[in-house]
Amino acid sequence: MPSRLDTARFVGAAVVLAAFFYARSSPSQSAPTEFQQGDASKPPVLDGWYRPVIRQAKKGNPAPAPKHDISGTWDPGQAGIQILGAGALPDDGNPEHTPPYTALGLQKLGLTKPSAGFRTVLPTDSNDPAYACNPAGMPRLDLHDLRVTEILQTPREVIVLYQFGRIWRKIWTDGRDFPKDPEPRWLGYSVGKWVDDTTLVVQTWGTDERTWIDRAGRPHSTDLRVEERFHRVDGDHLELSVTVNDPKMYTKPWVSLDKLRFQMMAPDYDSREMMCSPAELDEYNRLMGAPLSNTDGK
């Protein structure tokens, strides 16, 4: 357990950081950082096959967006990591970044102990299900360590392959409706519809309420509906926005991701493994997590 002094320091630090965040007029959703290939003073950025990373994006004007096509390998850069929780409303102490909780939502929020954001706790005090290698679920796949994302399309489905966790997910685009009274699933049930030539709107319902919205511990119920808008800006860029709608937990829908921009990667890009291994996590907690939290009995 932290000492009183540690707690006081922590609270003090929190106040300082909050002051910084008050000054931030917009959340951290900047464009992806350009890779530094060609800079001899820095090591090359390598893909999972240990080959230098090359972006598909070219200098000059990219090709126009193809119709009804978001397929490709996409990189959101650092902005996809969302270390403080949902990118559009990071849990940084700024009241303007507080989702519109209901009373029940606030009560549920009080039960989550995140190891990120303004309410962070020491590592082994957290009850974050994802850090125990449980499925992130939806919409957390979009709001926590969203990294290189590969999208495959067929005439009746869109398949999304996420680098973080090596998770795949299917969005049906064949016109079907949601199943009636479905059993909750970690990733729920997703259907997509093209609302114009370049925008696929995906609705997800039927998620398992054991998951969190993001790494800051925002809660949801089984009534959660998630809307994702995939917008193909041009040949080389994609944008993703995510809206959370859960009347039990939130008084109104809130935008959790606002036009996060992805850049197209070369088609032969090989993403690195980033998987949660209980064995590796146990070892990490034994060597590091428990001592950091003073819970290793020493």
DSSP code at position 43: P
Helix (H) or strand (E) holding 227: strand 225-234
Question: Shortest Cβ distance from residue 16 to another protein (Å)?
Answer: 6
Helix, strand or coil, per DSSP, at residue 182: coil
Q: Which one of the spans 12-20, 152-160, 191-199, 250-258 is the region binding another protein (CB under 8 A)?
A: 12-20
Contact between 215 and another protein per CB under 8 A: yes
Contact between 282 and another protein per CB under 8 A: no
Quick note: the x/- pattern for another protein over 161-200, rule CB under 8 A, is: ----------------------------------------
Closer of 9 and 156 to another protein (Cβ) = 9
The residue type found at 165 is G
CA distance 167 to 176: 23
Handedness of CA 72, 228, 241, 118 (dihedral sign): negative
CA nearest neighbour of 109 among 123, 124, 94, 127: 127
Residue from 57, 86, 122, 260 that binds another protein (CB under 8 A)? 122
Binding to another protein, residues 125-154 (CB under 8 A): 128, 131
Residue whose entry in the numeric block shows the structure tokens 């993703």:
240
Closer of 131 and 194 to another protein (Cβ) = 131
Handedness of CA 276, 279, 280, 284 (dihedral sign): positive
The residue type found at 15 is V
Residue from 56, 75, 92, 217 that binds another protein (CB under 8 A)? 92
φ, ψ for residue 86, nearest 5 deg: -40, 125
Question: Shortest Cβ distance from residue 137 to another protein (Å)?
Answer: 17
DSSP code at position 44: P
Question: Shortest Cβ distance from residue 179 to another protein (Å)?
Answer: 35
Interacting residues with another protein (CB under 8 A): 2-3, 6, 9-10, 13-14, 16-17, 19-25, 28, 43, 45-46, 83-84, 90-92, 115-123, 128, 131, 215, 272-277, 280-281, 283-284, 287-289, 291-294, 298
